[in-house]
Protein backbone atom coordinates (compact mmCIF):
# COMPACT_ATOMS: atom_id res chain seq x y z
CA UNK A 1 0.00 0.00 0.00
CA UNK A 2 1.32 3.44 -0.95
CA UNK A 3 2.53 5.83 1.72
CA UNK A 4 0.93 9.28 1.41
CA UNK A 5 2.79 12.51 2.11
CA UNK A 6 1.62 16.11 2.09
CA UNK A 7 4.06 18.31 0.19
CA UNK A 8 5.31 21.34 2.14
CA UNK A 9 4.49 23.89 -0.54
CA UNK A 10 1.42 25.58 -1.94
CA UNK A 11 2.58 24.83 -5.51
CA UNK A 12 0.44 21.99 -7.00
CA UNK A 13 2.86 21.63 -9.94
CA UNK A 14 5.62 20.58 -7.55
CA UNK A 15 3.40 17.77 -6.23
CA UNK A 16 2.80 16.64 -9.83
CA UNK A 17 6.55 16.66 -10.41
CA UNK A 18 7.17 14.42 -7.40
CA UNK A 19 4.36 12.08 -8.42
CA UNK A 20 6.12 11.62 -11.76
CA UNK A 21 9.28 10.62 -9.87
CA UNK A 22 7.58 8.16 -7.49
CA UNK A 23 5.50 5.11 -8.55
CA UNK A 24 1.94 5.58 -7.25
CA UNK A 25 1.95 2.16 -5.58
CA UNK A 26 4.89 3.20 -3.35
CA UNK A 27 4.56 6.94 -2.62
CA UNK A 28 1.76 9.42 -3.26
CA UNK A 29 2.44 13.12 -2.85
CA UNK A 30 -0.45 15.55 -2.43
CA UNK A 31 -0.47 19.33 -2.39
CA UNK A 32 -1.01 21.18 0.86
CA UNK A 33 -4.41 22.92 1.03
CA UNK A 34 -2.60 26.22 1.43
CA UNK A 35 0.91 27.61 1.52
CA UNK A 36 2.21 28.62 4.91
CA UNK A 37 5.12 30.98 5.45
CA UNK A 38 8.07 29.28 7.10
CA UNK A 39 11.13 31.20 8.26
CA UNK A 40 14.03 29.29 6.71
CA UNK A 41 16.79 30.35 9.05
CA UNK A 42 18.63 27.03 9.23
CA UNK A 43 22.35 26.75 8.55
CA UNK A 44 22.06 23.78 6.14
CA UNK A 45 19.71 22.38 3.51
CA UNK A 46 18.73 19.67 6.02
CA UNK A 47 17.85 22.31 8.63
CA UNK A 48 15.60 24.24 6.24
CA UNK A 49 13.89 21.12 4.87
CA UNK A 50 13.16 20.03 8.44
CA UNK A 51 11.81 23.48 9.39
CA UNK A 52 9.35 23.33 6.47
CA UNK A 53 8.36 19.70 7.11
CA UNK A 54 7.72 20.29 10.81
CA UNK A 55 5.73 23.49 10.18
CA UNK A 56 3.41 21.74 7.70
CA UNK A 57 3.11 18.69 9.96
CA UNK A 58 2.18 20.90 12.93
CA UNK A 59 -0.47 22.75 10.90
CA UNK A 60 -2.00 19.93 8.82
CA UNK A 61 -0.97 16.74 10.64
CA UNK A 62 0.09 13.51 8.97
CA UNK A 63 3.30 12.66 7.10
CA UNK A 64 4.97 15.52 5.20
CA UNK A 65 7.57 15.75 2.46
CA UNK A 66 9.65 18.94 2.29
CA UNK A 67 12.61 19.78 0.11
CA UNK A 68 15.30 22.38 0.14
CA UNK A 69 17.68 22.87 -2.72
CA UNK A 70 20.16 25.29 -4.15
CA UNK A 71 23.32 25.86 -6.12
CA UNK A 72 26.72 25.70 -4.44
CA UNK A 73 29.46 27.59 -6.31
CA UNK A 74 32.93 26.82 -4.99
CA UNK A 75 34.32 30.27 -5.87
CA UNK A 76 31.49 31.97 -3.91
CA UNK A 77 31.20 29.72 -0.84
CA UNK A 78 29.12 32.07 1.32
CA UNK A 79 26.89 33.63 -1.34
CA UNK A 80 24.67 30.88 -2.76
CA UNK A 81 23.95 27.44 -1.25
CA UNK A 82 21.02 27.84 1.14
CA UNK A 83 20.78 31.48 -0.01
CA UNK A 84 20.45 30.63 -3.74
CA UNK A 85 16.88 31.96 -4.01
CA UNK A 86 17.93 35.20 -2.29
CA UNK A 87 21.27 35.70 -4.09
CA UNK A 88 21.68 39.36 -5.06
CA UNK A 89 18.88 40.53 -2.76
CA UNK A 90 15.11 40.83 -2.96
CA UNK A 91 13.32 41.76 -6.15
CA UNK A 92 15.61 40.02 -8.65
CA UNK A 93 14.15 37.60 -11.19
CA UNK A 94 15.67 34.14 -11.73
CA UNK A 95 17.33 35.41 -14.89
CA UNK A 96 18.78 38.46 -13.11
CA UNK A 97 20.24 36.20 -10.41
CA UNK A 98 21.81 33.93 -13.03
CA UNK A 99 23.26 36.93 -14.91
CA UNK A 100 24.63 38.34 -11.64
CA UNK A 101 26.36 35.01 -11.02
CA UNK A 102 27.96 35.15 -14.48
CA UNK A 103 29.13 38.70 -13.79
CA UNK A 104 30.64 37.75 -10.40
CA UNK A 105 32.54 34.85 -11.97
CA UNK A 106 33.73 36.85 -15.01
CA UNK A 107 37.39 36.86 -13.91
CA UNK A 108 37.29 33.53 -12.06
CA UNK A 109 38.97 30.35 -13.29
CA UNK A 110 37.32 27.97 -10.80
CA UNK A 111 33.77 27.67 -12.14
CA UNK A 112 33.00 24.35 -10.44
CA UNK A 113 29.58 24.07 -8.83
CA UNK A 114 26.89 21.61 -7.90
CA UNK A 115 23.15 21.57 -7.40
CA UNK A 116 21.96 19.92 -4.20
CA UNK A 117 18.49 18.80 -3.12
CA UNK A 118 17.61 17.51 0.34
CA UNK A 119 14.29 15.74 0.82
CA UNK A 120 12.91 15.49 4.34
CA UNK A 121 10.21 12.88 4.95
CA UNK A 122 8.65 13.81 8.30
CA UNK A 123 6.35 11.03 9.49
CA UNK A 124 6.34 12.05 13.15
CA UNK A 125 8.86 13.56 15.57
CA UNK A 126 10.53 10.17 15.99
CA UNK A 127 10.57 9.19 12.31
CA UNK A 128 12.36 11.70 10.10
CA UNK A 129 14.32 10.66 7.01
CA UNK A 130 16.65 12.74 4.83
CA UNK A 131 17.83 11.98 1.29
CA UNK A 132 20.31 14.10 -0.66
CA UNK A 133 20.91 14.29 -4.40
CA UNK A 134 23.63 16.23 -6.21
CA UNK A 135 24.57 17.12 -9.76
CA UNK A 136 28.18 18.19 -10.32
CA UNK A 137 29.06 20.69 -13.03
CA UNK A 138 30.44 24.09 -13.90
CA UNK A 139 29.05 27.56 -14.39
CA UNK A 140 29.19 28.51 -18.07
CA UNK A 141 30.09 31.92 -19.44
CA UNK A 142 26.71 32.85 -20.90
CA UNK A 143 22.98 32.43 -20.32
CA UNK A 144 21.75 29.68 -22.67
CA UNK A 145 18.58 27.57 -22.92
CA UNK A 146 14.81 27.91 -22.83
CA UNK A 147 13.69 25.17 -20.42
CA UNK A 148 14.16 24.76 -16.70
CA UNK A 149 14.30 27.61 -14.24
CA UNK A 150 16.61 29.33 -11.78
CA UNK A 151 20.27 28.74 -12.56
CA UNK A 152 19.66 26.01 -15.19
CA UNK A 153 20.65 28.28 -18.13
CA UNK A 154 24.14 28.88 -16.69
CA UNK A 155 24.85 25.41 -15.22
CA UNK A 156 26.69 22.85 -17.37
CA UNK A 157 26.40 19.38 -15.79
CA UNK A 158 29.56 17.26 -15.87
CA UNK A 159 27.66 14.16 -17.03
CA UNK A 160 25.48 16.00 -19.54
CA UNK A 161 26.08 16.32 -23.26
CA UNK A 162 28.95 18.36 -24.66
CA UNK A 163 28.82 21.86 -23.18
CA UNK A 164 25.03 22.14 -22.95
CA UNK A 165 23.40 23.83 -19.96
CA UNK A 166 20.78 22.16 -17.81
CA UNK A 167 18.22 24.41 -19.54
CA UNK A 168 19.13 22.73 -22.86
CA UNK A 169 18.76 19.21 -21.48
CA UNK A 170 15.15 18.78 -20.27
CA UNK A 171 15.03 15.00 -20.84
CA UNK A 172 18.44 14.51 -19.22
CA UNK A 173 17.39 16.70 -16.27
CA UNK A 174 14.24 14.62 -15.65
CA UNK A 175 16.45 11.60 -14.96
CA UNK A 176 19.67 13.09 -13.54
CA UNK A 177 18.69 16.27 -11.67
CA UNK A 178 19.52 16.67 -7.98
CA UNK A 179 15.80 16.25 -7.17
CA UNK A 180 15.56 13.08 -9.28
CA UNK A 181 18.65 11.60 -7.59
CA UNK A 182 17.37 12.39 -4.07
CA UNK A 183 13.98 10.93 -5.04
CA UNK A 184 15.60 7.69 -6.22
CA UNK A 185 17.35 7.30 -2.85
CA UNK A 186 14.04 7.91 -1.07
CA UNK A 187 12.21 5.47 -3.32
CA UNK A 188 14.79 2.74 -2.68
CA UNK A 189 14.37 3.27 1.06
CA UNK A 190 10.56 3.25 1.07
CA UNK A 191 10.34 0.23 -1.24
CA UNK A 192 12.38 -1.73 1.31
CA UNK A 193 10.60 -0.47 4.45
Q: Report CA Rg, the chain.
A: 17
d(CA 30, CA 8): 9
d(CA 5, CA 184): 16
Give me the catalytic one of 68, 94, 152, 188.
68
Q: What is the β-pairing status of strands 155-157 and 127-139? A: antiparallel
Please count the other Cβ atoms lying within 10 Å of the Cβ belonging to residue 102. 16
H helix intervals, the chain: 12-21, 45-60, 94-104, 170-176, 178-192
Q: What's the N-to-C CA distance of the chain in angstroms?
A: 12
**In this structure, what are the phi and psi dihedrals at residue 37, rounded to the nearest 5 degrees?**
-80, 125
Q: Is 110 one of the catalytic residues?
A: no
Please count the other Cβ atoms lying within 10 Å of the Cβ belonging to residue 21. 18
181: three-class secondary structure by DSSP: helix
The helix or strand, by DSSP H or E, that contains position 69, with its residue range, turns out to be strand 64-73
Catalytic positions, written as ranges: 68
Amino acid sequence: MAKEFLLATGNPHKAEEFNELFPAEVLKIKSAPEKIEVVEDGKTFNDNALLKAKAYHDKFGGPVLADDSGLVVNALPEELGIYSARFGGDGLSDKERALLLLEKLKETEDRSAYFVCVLCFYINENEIYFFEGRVEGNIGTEYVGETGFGYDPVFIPTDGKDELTMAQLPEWKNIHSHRAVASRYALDFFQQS
